[in-house]
Every structure is written in structure tokens, then in C-alpha cells.
């Protein structure tokens, strides 16, 4: 059976799937300021409760910056903290924008990202500057950020919130993410899920291999 007969909806992650992310870049930026343990607190696979709270909007940008200064033990300007924190954000290659547009011709395409109130304006500015897209969310049929929802992956409630908003059946949805814990969470929530292993391929290669546009 062809892939397009199995799914009505494609649910995409953002970081790693669409936008390139280098988690070590922020750790290096903070390390250069004397904060040597940042990499142990925040990574793709696991992060401190501070970052979890920031991603669900439970912690404000001001509180996040205050806590960072406290852990570093030194006063830093908001701009310096934001620059270090945003250092991990890369670009969205144009072929991935094209891919989303092609997928939208055949499926309902949704976005679900674990992100925060400092990263959102930063990556939206990158996309506006580099891809000429002034309204990033409009690229999708629906786009959801954890910091706005108060929910984050891999919790089933995050997936169900998004699918319910669009009247989507989990069993007719394919979720694509580069974090295995999120893939496993989606499967537990009843979705189909594909793990994008970035060491082997990017999302364009995965979509082609799965035959989603055949």
C-alpha cells in the first residue's frame, strides 16, 4: 500500500528536522563565559527542569535569564544570554521549505515543536531573513509551540492537543522527529512515527525513502 493511502496528516518536528540545530554551540558559548557545565544540563536527549519549565511557558524569559545568571554566578545582560542561548539555531535549507509545500499538496501538514519564548522570535527572524518567509506558522496547516501550549513532547497530551484541534485521527497521522524519546512518545499516543536519524539522512531523504510523495 502506498504511503499516501495510510496517512492523512504529517506532523513534523522543527529542530533537527526542518531547522538545523547544533546543541553544542550554546554550550560552547556559555562555556566561553565561564559556565562549563551547561552541556550537562541541556542536551538533545535530556535537559534540566529549568529548560523543561521554559519550554512549557511555566518559566518566563526574565526568570530563565535570572536563573542562568544564578547558575553562572555572574551578572549577564539579557542580550548576552539570548545570544548564547540562540547560538544553537541554524538555518532551514530551501529544499526543506519546498518539501513542506509539496507535502501540503497531498497531506494536512502540522508542526509540533518543543521550544521557548526566546528561541521563537530568533528562528522566525532567521526564516524571514534567509527564506523570505515573514509568517512562519503560515507555512503549515497548523503550527504549535510547546511554550504557547503549556505542553511538550513526549507527553501524549501534547500530541492529542494538536490532533484534536484539527480533527485528526492518531492512527492516520505520521509523526517525524529526530529525538527517539519523542518518537516513542508519539507511538504510545497512537500515532505512527518515524525516527529521523540525522547521521544517516535528512528529512528530504526520509520522506523519499518512505515514499510519501510517490
Indicate whether 128 and 203 sit together in one domain. Answer: yes
Per the structure, the count of domains in the chain is: 2
The DSSP string of 123-134 is HHHHHHHHH--S
Indicate whether 108 and 203 sit together in one domain. Answer: yes
- Residue that is written with C-alpha cell 510523495 in the block: 213
Q: What is the DSSP letter of 139?
A: G
pLDDT of residue 71: 78
Answer with the one of 88, 113, 134 that is the final residue of a domain: 88
Indicate whether 84 and 176 sit together in one domain. Answer: no
Q: Are 146 and 158 in contact (CB under 8 A)?
A: yes
Say if pTM beats, i.e. exceeds, 0.75: yes
The DSSP string of 86-129 is GGGB----HHHHHHHHHHHTTSEEEEEE---TTHHHHHHHHHHH
pLDDT of residue 45: 41
Indicate whether 46 and 152 sit together in one domain. Answer: no
Indicate whether 76 and 167 sit together in one domain. Answer: no
Q: Are 100 and 135 in contact (CB under 8 A)?
A: no
pLDDT of residue 30: 86
For the chain (length 214 residues), average pLDDT per consecutive 10? 79 97 90 75 56 91 90 86 96 97 97 97 97 97 97 97 96 97 98 97 97 94
pLDDT of residue 1: 53
Q: Are 85 and 117 in contact (CB under 8 A)?
A: no
Indicate whether 9 and 115 sit together in one domain. Answer: yes
pLDDT of residue 39: 63
List the CATH number of the domain containing 190: 3.40.50.1000
pLDDT of residue 24: 87
| β-pairing verdict for 108-113 and 9-12 | parallel
List the CATH number of the domain containing 79: 1.10.150.240
Q: Are 186 and 202 in contact (CB under 8 A)?
A: no
Q: Are 86 and 115 in contact (CB under 8 A)?
A: no
Domain that holds residue 78: 23-88
Torsion (CA) 166, 172, 176, 180 in degrees, nearest 10: 110
Indicate whether 95 and 195 sit together in one domain. Answer: yes
- Residue that is written with C-alpha cell 526543506 in the block: 96
Indicate whether 15 and 77 sit together in one domain. Answer: no
How far apart, in whole angstroms, are the C-alpha atoms of residue 133 and residue 183?
Answer: 28
Indicate whether 72 and 96 sit together in one domain. Answer: no
Indicate whether 116 and 41 sit together in one domain. Answer: no
Answer with the one of 88, 103, 120 that is the final residue of a domain: 88
Question: 144: which strand partners?
Answer: 112
Angle between helices 78-85 and 23-31 (to 10 degrees): 140
List Cα–Cα distances, 152 to 37, 61, 72, in angstroms. Answer: 24, 17, 26
Indicate whether 120 and 143 sit together in one domain. Answer: yes
How far apart, in whole angstroms, are the C-alpha atoms of residue 122 and residue 92?
Answer: 13
Indicate whether 64 and 34 sit together in one domain. Answer: yes
Answer with the one of 65, 88, 111 that is the final residue of a domain: 88
| β-pairing verdict for 9-12 and 192-195 | unpaired
pLDDT of residue 47: 53
pLDDT of residue 171: 97
pLDDT of residue 10: 98
Amino acid at each position: 500500500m502506498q504511503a499516501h493511502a495510510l496517512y492523512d496528516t504529517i506532523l513534523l518536528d522543527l529542530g533537527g528536522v526542518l531547522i538545523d540545530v547544533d546543541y553544542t554551540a550554546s554550550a560552547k558559548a556559555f562555556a566561553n563565559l565561564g559556565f562549563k557545565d551547561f552541556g550537562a544540563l541541556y542536551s538533545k536527549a535530556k535537559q534540566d527542569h529549568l529548560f523543561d519549565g521554559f519550554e512549557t511557558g511555566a518559566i518566563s524569559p526574565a526568570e530563565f535569564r535570572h536563573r542562568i545568571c544564578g547558575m553562572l554566578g555572574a551578572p549577564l545582560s539579557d542580550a548576552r544570554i539570548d545570544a548564547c542561548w540562540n547560538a544553537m539555531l541554524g538555518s532551514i535549507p530551501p529544499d526543506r521549505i519546498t518539501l513542506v509545500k509539496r507535502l501540503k499538496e497531498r497531506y494536512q501538514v502540522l508542526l509540533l515543536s518543543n521550544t521557548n519564548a526566546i528561541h521563537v522570535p530568533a528562528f522566525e527572524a532567521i526564516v524571514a531573513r534567509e527564506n523570505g518567509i515573514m509568517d512562519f506558522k503560515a507555512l503549515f496547516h497548523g503550527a504549535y509551540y510547546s511554550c504557547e501550549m503549556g505542553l511538550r513532547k513526549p507527553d501524549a497530551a501534547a500530541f492529542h492537543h494538536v490532533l484534536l484541534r484539527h480533527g485528526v485521527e492518531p492512527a492516520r497521522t505520521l509523526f517525524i522527529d529526530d529525538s527517539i524519546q519523542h518518537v516513542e512518545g508519539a507511538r504510545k499516543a497512537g500515532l505512527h512515527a518515524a525516527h529521523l536519524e540525522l547521521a544517516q539522512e535528512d528529512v528530504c531523504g526520509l520522506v523519499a525513502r518512505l515514499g510519501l510523495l510517490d
